[in-house]
Structure 1
Amino acid sequence: MLKPSLMLTAGLLAAPHLHAQTLQRELGDFDLKLGTTPTRSMAQGLVAPGTIGSFHGGIDVTHDSGWYFGQWSPSVGLTPDSNFELDSYLGYKRRLVPDFGYELGMISYTRPDVADGNSHQLYAGMRVFESRFGAAFSEAVDSRSGTLFADFGQLPLFNLDVSVKVSRYSLSSPYALGDGELVEGFSDWSMQVSRPLMGVDLNLIYSSSDLRGGECVAYSGHNPACDSMVTLKAQRAFF
């Protein structure tokens, strides 16, 4: 019943004159953000809203007490090759002292046009000095997964930022391979080393999983590939 109104809201957010902009207002103890780019990441960046296609948008509301809630639609589903999706979240974020803070929350992914497409996720995050730690547990109809994330900040002497992510996936129905072998679950991991150089952010990423060879047909994790991969990314902000 909510889909038409939510689609209308997201459609308005995706209008050309509001593209990639955020409207922010303070209403008493509440901070309201409305825009076509995600305004929040959760669990110290482990859980981050994404975009699918050209039409997306959302709303985020934060209370001075630390409570927040919002909805983000990465895809309004207006094109034939896209499906409507709505991500609704509720959480609490608190900084106790300048060098320590924590966060707890949950997010629900609703995909009414996809059979068994809904899923849920619980997440938590913590910041200690310059280090960030995050954890998330996801449950869908066909699988469950748990992820741990750690960003240790810049290492002394080397001026390098190091972060690692490890995930474990359990399949509700084992994946049958051609030789009769069953894949009931798998793990994947990644490590990223970052360093600024002459205004350019250099990122070296190593990713892999415990699936090998023909087992990779069962892979559906966070990494772009099942096998071991090394990726070099260079980013520069011009504005």
Structure 2
Amino acid sequence: MPNARYFLLIASTLLVCQSASAQIIERELGDFSLKLGTTPSRSMAQGLVTPTGGDSAFHGGLDLTHDSGFYFGQWSPNAGIAPDSVFEVDSYMGFKKPFDKTLGYELGVIRYTYPNTDQLDSHELYAGFRIFDSRIGTAFSNDAGRQDSSLFLDLGGIVPLGLDLRMQYGNHQLDAPAAIDGGGMVSAYNDWSFNVSRPLMGMDMNLIYSGSSLTGADCGAYSGHNTYCESTVTLKVVRSFF
């Protein structure tokens, strides 16, 4: 896959570095709104292209939205700079339309690409509704050897507490059961995560709980949304310098 396809993504990340105070730069281009930043634009896609785990030290992307509600963009949750990390590019396009100030819907598709590896690209369809500042969405992918579906819930900011609560639940079905140590077989499993975040002194504090229906030796078959198979509590502090 030609590296030229990802020039726009890399260029957008470099543009963001010119700003010392903002995570997102916004520009109006006729009927389009362009966003460049180290934080993905707030769309249903955001809940799917920013996984709970992963290396978030180097990331960035762009989002272009038309007045009609059509949008497309690219987001790299990992630039592959850190050791043992893989360059990933998530390209998405969709349509987002409000009914009024309280309700709206969204649907689209994401393509996950890993340019520097032999890993096959995958696609995911997603759709969701917005109610006030809360979003609920679902996604489905049917890739070689497996089917994955997920439910995503973002309750938005809980004003009295200054907290943001996000939840994700996934189901994973394998076409051929995976053999594990001890002679067992795994053909399906679920995983979930809960993320509570709060800004504090210029930092984004995140408390994350993740887990799955697999334990012990069965975790040898795990390849879901979370970094770890078994129940894990993670405290992540993010400080953006540009």
| TM-score normalised to structure 1 length | 0.75
Residue-by-residue CA offset, 1:136-158 (whole Å, 9 max, x unaligned)? 11233243211112234567987
Residue 47, structure 1, aligned to residue 51, structure 2? no
Task: Give runs of aligned pairs for residues 74-85 of structure 1, distance below 5 A.
Answer: 85=88
**Ranges in structure 1 where 5+ consecutive residues have no aligned partner:** none
The answer to whether the aligner puts 1:122 opposite 2:139 as a matched pair is: no
Aligned equivalent of 1:37: 38
**Greater C-alpha Rg:** 1
Distance 1:219 1:65 in 2: 41
Matches within 5 A, 1:1-239: 3-15=2-14, 19=17, 21=19, 24-33=26-35, 35=36, 37-43=38-44, 45-49=46-50, 58-73=61-76, 85-153=88-156, 162-193=165-196, 203-233=206-236
Quote how far apart the aligned CAs of 1:228 are: 1.9
Shift of 1:179: 2.2
* Secondary structure of the structure 1 residue equivalent to 2:49: coil
**3-state SS of the aligned residue for 2:99?**
strand
Per the alignment, do residues 209 and 65 of structure 1 end up closer, same or farther by CA in structure 2, a change over 3 Å counting? same
- Structure 2 residue matching 1:46: 3-state secondary structure: helix
1:99–1:9 Cα change, 3 Å: closer
Could you say which structure has the greater relative contact order, defined with CA pairs below 8 angstroms and 6 or more residues apart?
2
- Closer, same or farther: CA 89–160 of 1 in aligned 2, 3 Å: closer
Q: The residue matched to 2:225 in structure 1 has which SS? A: coil
Q: Which sections of structure 2, spanning at least 5 residues, go unmatched? A: none
* Per-residue CA distance 1:30-86 (angstroms, 9 max, x = gap): 2233x4535424327422358969876544321101011123455677999766644
Q: Distance in 2 between matches of 1:196 and 1:83?
A: 28
Structure 1 Cα separation of the partners of residues 124 and 45 of structure 2: 15
| Change over 3 Å in CA distance of 1:70–1:237 after alignment to 2 | closer
- Residues 137 and 151 in structure 2, CA contact (< 8 A), matched pair in contact too: yes
**Count of equivalent residues:** 236
Taking every aligned residue pair, what percent have the same amino acid on both sides?
Answer: 45
Amino acid at match of 1:224: T
RMSD over aligned CA atoms reads 3.9
TM norm structure 2: 0.74
Give the Cα separation in 2 of the matches to 1:198 and 1:54: 19
Residue identity in the other structure for 2:215: R
CA distance in 1, matches of 2:117, 2:144: 12
Deviations 1:161-198 (A, max 9, x none): 54432100112332111222211121011234456789
Structure 2 counterpart of 1:19, one-letter code: C
